[in-house]
Structure 1
Amino acid sequence: MATDAPPLPNVTLLFGPMLIGVFINMILYGVLLGQVLTYYKLYQKDATWMRYFILVLFIIETANTGFDMAFMFQPLILNYGQKPTFFPTVFVTQPLCVVLVSTPIQLFFAWRIRSLTKSYWVPAIIAILALASCTGGIWTAAMIKIVKTFANKPKLHNSALLWFLSSCVADILITISLVLSLARRKTGFSGTDSVIDRIIRMTIQTGMLTAVFSILDVVCFMVLPHAAINFAFDLALSKLYTNCLMSTLNARHGLNSVSATGGVSAEGRRNNSHGLMGGAPTSPAGRRHPETFEHHTRQMDSSAIYELDTQKSAYDVEATYGQPREEFGIQVTKVIERVKDPLPHPFTQ
């Protein structure tokens, strides 16, 4: 006589959020793949260490995606129908992969802030928080191996708090520091300021995104200790960090073009007939004044460098009159022109 099969355990609040997190992770991996291909296509002249840095991050992210699929395969397929008791075996790799990605990226941005601000205090605080977050991630991985069961999940709170809160504060400091340092470099020229405004918007969007996910992760982790809601955010964290970095680096192509032209083509600069950017001014009748432009100087302020780049814009090459100069980043340029015109002119009065 056949007996009724026992009801299947309810795994909605445990494996459901994990599965959603894995889905988000895999979608962001596809985005990252496109970002990496774009980077290696457009920025072949970047520093060698930077190109290897991106390659290492991509390898870690590829491994992370494979591990995520593996630890979901175990409870949903191999242990199907069993009561969820243990953390999946491969789950220990999750915090390790996140800190192996987030810590180098946060240290990278700390270095960029040091280059922009010429100050050590804020970059040093960011570096300390990044290393603390790395310590918390490694501690969490070790604790997962020790506690093993979902029932002991609250024992992970101390290590997880160190991990998430340090990372969150570091992300917020990075965002605020970049925004303030870039805002101070506005020159009053609409072309330059529009580029800086675009960089500021992108910095806020990317930096705060990782901070928000870290906050949601730690809040859900603390408020719902016996559920796995936090993993819907946690499993996407590493991909968010890498995609934010790649989107920032890849944006240089468009921003350099705008920065180079200031909204006007290089040809338009050379053929400018109003004397605003180097051409000889014309009279209302269209005739040039041969007496004008006895003295013409251009002063370049190239201290505001944002991103790592060895490519020179067309305008930068023109401004240096063919002299080779290798620099890094989007060149935020302030142009000051002094023109001595002995004759009255409607465009100079």
Structure 2
Amino acid sequence: MAAALNVTLSFGPMLIGVYLNMILYGILLNQMYFYFQTYKTDALWIRLLAAYLFVMETANTILDMAMMYQPLITEYGTEKAVANFPILFMTEPIVIVLISAPIQCFFAWRINKITKSYYVPIIIIVLALASTVGGVITGVKIAILKLFSRKPELHWSALLWFIPSCVADLLITFTLVLSLSKRKTGFGATDSAIDKLIRMTVQTGMITAICAIGDVAFFMALPHTALNFLWDLSLSKLYTNCLMSNLNARSRILNSSRDASSGIGGGGAYYRNGMDPMSPTRGESGIRHVISAPEVYELESAKTFEAVSAQSHGSMFHGTDGFGITVTKVVERMEDPIHETLNSTTGIAQ
């Protein structure tokens, strides 16, 4: 009975964690395909980061499958399979930090672009590096300890791995939400796009933070089981999927904001003095005000001037020689460009 319980609490959570890892890998494949097909003009280093993460995640998935094959197939029924960590399990914490640290550094760079401050990004980078050190030490100690019964000896290195990572995730989420909230311009379409970015930041950032907290809690509360691996083995895929979700959401947010600003899908274009740009202004001798909805966003509202001419057809302007009078009116307009706002709030040039 004791041996059966040991197997259930050791390899059951690990197997489920690998299942979740593989499911998230399938989602990641779709995210990667969409990104490389859609954002071909992103900065080279961002595309290289995405490619690096794809390679690392593929390696992580292969290693996890091989890791579970050892105790459940090649060593099935032996005492060694029950007593020892799988040999490849040592790679898990190392690969996770090699994935999470670059992603956290990317968000630190993004925060720097938005806030123009170095203090918070530096703190995030330091936390990411501390987490990396903890993950590498944990992997090495797993290889040295070998036995499941010695799992509590991993506590301090695991805490050095998880706690800085969790704090970095929470700091990233809080800083981005606070910074984006301050970037609202008063234009409906811009504020709608920023609200979408805030919701996405909270949803994606909190996922990794909650999983890291769950990993720490299970690790400390249940040291002689492997229940924390339910969170741990899918953690790297959560990090990468959250990053790719942020990168891929740009086109969706931009398109929905354009639709809202042009009145598509229940949104509404705004017109100066409530005038429809497709119809001439009443009572102004046929002068047409063309105040189009914003096509691009930026954080700083740009003041532009637009001269719109219209041929007057009123009889009071029509001379006996047959020539009409052209009336030109200069209209002051406040634009709210979509592209620049999205670029500034995401920190990524289109």
Same fold (TM over 0.5): yes
Is 2:89 aligned against 1:53? Answer: no
| TM superposition shift of 1:285 | 9.1
Structure 1: gaps of 5 or more residues: 1-5, 312-349
| TM superposition shift of 1:288 | 2.5
Look up the match of 1:80: 76
Is 2:296 aligned against 1:296? Answer: no
Q: 1:294 aligns to what SS in structure 2? A: strand
Contact 2:189–2:258 under 8 Å retained in 1 = no
- Given residue 88 of structure 1, which amino acid in structure 2 is its aligned partner? P
TM-score (norm 1): 0.80
Q: Deviations over 1:57-79 (max 9, x none)?
A: 00000000000001101111111
- Given residue 168 of structure 1, which amino acid in structure 2 is its aligned partner? C
Q: Deviations over 1:226-245 (max 9, x none)?
A: 10000010000000000000
RMSD: 2.9
Contact 2:10–2:226 under 8 Å retained in 1 = yes
For residues 8-157 of structure 1, the aligned pairs below 5 Å read 9-10=4-5, 11-83=7-79, 84-157=82-155
| TM superposition shift of 1:51 | 1.0
- Given residue 346 of structure 2, which amino acid in structure 1 is its aligned partner? E
For residues 1-349 of structure 1, the aligned pairs below 5 Å read 9-10=4-5, 11-83=7-79, 84-260=82-258, 262-264=260-262, 282-283=281-282, 287-288=286-287, 293-296=329-332, 298=334, 302=340, 305-307=344-346, 309-311=348-350
Structure 2 vs 1, CA of residues 310 and 119 (structure 1 numbering), >3 Å: closer, same or farther? closer
Between stretches 208-217 and 288-297, larger displacement belongs to: 288-297
Structure 2 vs 1, CA of residues 270 and 142 (structure 1 numbering), >3 Å: closer, same or farther? closer
- Given residue 241 of structure 1, which amino acid in structure 2 is its aligned partner? Y
Look up the match of 1:320: none
| TM superposition shift of 1:81 | 1.4
Structure 2 vs 1, CA of residues 47 and 281 (structure 1 numbering), >3 Å: closer, same or farther? same
TM-score (norm 2): 0.80
| TM superposition shift of 1:22 | 0.1
Q: Deviations over 1:301-335 (max 9, x none)?
A: 85771225443xxxxxxxxxxxxxxxxxxxxxxxx
| TM superposition shift of 1:300 | 6.1
Structure 2 vs 1, CA of residues 307 and 273 (structure 1 numbering), >3 Å: closer, same or farther? closer
Distance 1:38 1:175 in 2: 24
- Larger helix proportion of the pair: 2
Distance 1:165 1:201 in 2: 24
Q: Deviations over 1:120-177 (max 9, x none)?
A: 1111111111111111101101111111111111110000001001100000000000
Structure 2: gaps of 5 or more residues: 289-309, 311-326
Between stretches 115-124 and 28-37, larger displacement belongs to: 115-124
Contact 2:216–2:228 under 8 Å retained in 1 = yes
Q: How many positions carry a matched residue from both structures? A: 305
Distance 1:19 1:269 in 2: 51
Distance 1:299 1:200 in 2: 23
Structure 2 vs 1, CA of residues 208 and 101 (structure 1 numbering), >3 Å: closer, same or farther? same
Contact 1:32–1:243 under 8 Å retained in 2 = yes
Distance 2:111 2:105 in 1: 10
Distance 2:193 2:150 in 1: 51
Q: Deviations over 1:87-136 (max 9, x none)?
A: 10000110011001000000000010011011111111111111111111
Between stretches 291-300 and 58-67, larger displacement belongs to: 291-300
Q: 2:83 aligns to what SS in structure 1? A: coil
Query: Alignment identity in percent?
Result: 52
Structure whose CA Rg is larger: 2
Distance 1:270 1:204 in 2: 28
Q: Deviations over 1:165-216 (max 9, x none)?
A: 1100000000000000000011111111111111100000000000000000
